Amino acid sequence: MNPCQPIPRAGEPCAIVIFGASGDLTKRKLIPSLYNLASYHLLPKNFSIIGVARSEMNDQEFQDRLGKDLTQLGTQPVDPNIWDGFRDRMLYCPGNFDDPKTYERLGQRLAESAKKLGTNGNVLFYLSVQPSFFATIAKMLAQYGLTKEEGNWRRVIIEKPFGHDLASALELNRNLTGALQEHQIYRIDHYLGKETAQNLLVFRLGNAVFEPIWNRRYIDHFQLTVAESIGVEGRGAFYESAGAFRDVMQNHMFMLLALIAMEPPNSLQGEVVRNEKVKLLQAVRRTSAEEALASTVRGQYGPGQVGGESVSGYRQEKNVNPESTVETYAAVKLMIDNWRWAGVPFYLRSGKRLAKRSTKIVVRFKVPPLGLFGENENEMIAPNRLIFNIQPDEGITFQVRAKVPGPTLATNAVHLDFDYSQFGERAPTTGYEKLLYDCMVGDSTLFHRSDMVEAAWEAAQPILDAWGNNPPKDFPNYAAGSWGPSAADELLERDVHKWWYPPE
Ligand code: BG6
């Protein structure tokens, strides 16, 4: 079954301008996603793709190059019936991002696209560039009148990092909103394009059984895990300025947290959903330095074995300081000070070079009030867990207690499983299709608004400050291929909890 089948209409006619068109994201994700949308009949009939990059190329060379990449990197075989029409709509505009001539040329190409390809004056700009160019490009686009909406729309997609800390995030937002209106800015988060991330709200609010128990009375705690088995993959220089907390936790994980814990919105209108997410992020407790240090754990991997292979430690990676104190692992306990979640801990952990790739949200319910089926009166019987498997094996599992067959009364945990095979076969996707499509139809629900970004940084800043003022002394403190530093286990043990691990 086509993954986008339930969506009824194709996107609106538009030109899609990709800044950074010769980069990795364009060939790995953007062109394959747009091609997939075309194959699902969700790309408008009248579209164009205009690549902007420094390399000198003509349209033909641009088309040939990306056609070749699509054959290698696309998620489905290239069908000449789709590709021929697609290729003819790809244009190229060479130029530097800070050169006025680039924007003059782009203006001409956009006019040509509107006239010859019927794109109607709607333009989606995708800034697949270094974040240091976001503000410059937004300013130049505005200066050359390319973001002016006159009976049509002009939208700009940017991808994280949205700042390095609260101050730089505020500055970036100021620069962006100086050039664009907030409704034109689409801050993309590829995590929210993942199928099970989108299922979080559907599952919570589309099933009457869960919402009544989705609160502090029935839920003991949450665990959010984004574990990666890969290392920094040649991105040492970038990672040295980021670390696990900034790279994954403050953005992807905080936004998953918002989805799992926000109040039910009264409609699915983009602004309504985003209002609820902001409220939740604003309710994350801002900690003192002391509390921040006590409720967090940092780690950095040393050499070890991953998947049976020996791998080097973080400090031995290319472009990494041999004495680096950058964390490749972070675990935090967050509290949310609102009526629904008072007293319920949210444990988040993320790391590189861990034992397994596994992104999960585990909802741990409280135990029944009376241990009827335990071995003795004091024994706590196993609690129910609802597990959202975001990747790699997508699905949702409900762990319940059942009687083991036989003459004696013994119980064990069993799983009620949902996986997507129940919807039939799924075509593989890049994860960007839904997000690009949403931008084309003006649905901002899955994109971050400036106040969401700021609220997430506000919650993160006390932790970053406490860490900055107290450099770690024990790095490296976990072996590549393990589940992270032992201090992360102790963090939960103090609350008489344990991290939930995916079955071997
Ligand atoms: C990116 C981070 O945002 O997310 C990477 O910069 C990380 O470091 C990646 O590897 C994880 O994404 P996914 O979709 O592979 O889980």
Question: What is the tens place of the pLDDT at every residue in 366-421?
Answer: 988 887 886 654 455 678 999 999 999 899 999 998 888 999 888 888 999 999 99
The sign of the CA dihedral 457, 345, 282, 278 is positive
- Return the beta strands (E) in 366-436 as ranges: 385-391, 395-404, 410-419
Measured in Å, residue 461 CA sits from the centre of ligand 1 at: 21
- For the segment 453-463, the average pLDDT, to the nearest whole number, is 98
Q: Are strands 304-306 and 395-404 parallel, antiparallel or unpaired?
A: unpaired
Give the residue numbers annotated as catalytic, written as ranges.
252
- For the segment 107-116, the average pLDDT, to the nearest whole number, is 96
Residue 248 CB–ligand 1 contact under 6 Å: yes
When mean pLDDT is compared across 30-44, 299-313, 415-429, the lowest value belongs to: 415-429
Contact 225, 358 (CB under 8 A): yes
Q: How confident is the model at residue 303 (pLDDT cuts 50, 70, 90)?
A: very high
Spatial neighbors of 281 by CB under 8 A, at least 6 apart, are 254, 257, 258, 452, 455, 456, 458, 459
- For the segment 178-188, the average pLDDT, to the nearest whole number, is 97
- For the segment 123-128, the average pLDDT, to the nearest whole number, is 98
Task: Identify which of 49, 25, 174, 31 has the alpha carbon closest to the alpha carbon of residue 109.
Answer: 49
Measured in Å, residue 39 CA sits from the centre of ligand 1 at: 27
Instruction: State pLDDT tens for residues 484-494.
Output: 999 999 999 99
Measured in Å, residue 196 CA sits from the centre of ligand 1 at: 16
* Residue 325 reports pLDDT greater than 70: yes
Query: What does the pLDDT read at residue 1?
Result: 39
Instruction: State pLDDT tens for residues 33-67.
Output: 999 999 999 999 999 999 999 999 999 999 999 99
Reduced 3-state DSSP string for 293-341: HHCEEEECEECEEECCEEECCHHHCCCCCCCCCCCCEEEEEEEECCCCC
- Which protein residue has the closest C-alpha to ligand 1 atom 12? 191
- Return the beta strands (E) in 150-255 as ranges: 154-159, 185-188, 219-227
- Looking from the CA of residue 239, the nearest atom of ligand 1 is 8
Residue 247 CB–ligand 1 contact under 6 Å: yes
Measured in Å, residue 352 CA sits from the centre of ligand 1 at: 10
Place of tokens 């918002």: 258
Q: Helices 254-261 and 450-469 sit at what angle, rounded to 10 degrees?
A: 120
Query: What does the pLDDT read at residue 408?
Result: 87
Query: What does the pLDDT read at residue 428?
Result: 85
In the chain, % of residues over pLDDT 90: 89
- Looking from the CA of residue 190, the nearest atom of ligand 1 is 14
Measured in Å, residue 248 CA sits from the centre of ligand 1 at: 7
- Looking from the CA of residue 359, the nearest atom of ligand 1 is 16
Query: What does the pLDDT read at residue 376?
Result: 55
* Residue 11 reports pLDDT greater than 60: yes
- Which protein residue has the closest C-alpha to ligand 1 atom 7? 248
Query: What does the pLDDT read at residue 411?
Result: 85
φ, ψ at 351 (rounded to 5°): -165, 160
Query: What does the pLDDT read at residue 381?
Result: 66
Residue 189 CB–ligand 1 contact under 6 Å: no
- Looking from the CA of residue 431, the nearest atom of ligand 1 is 14
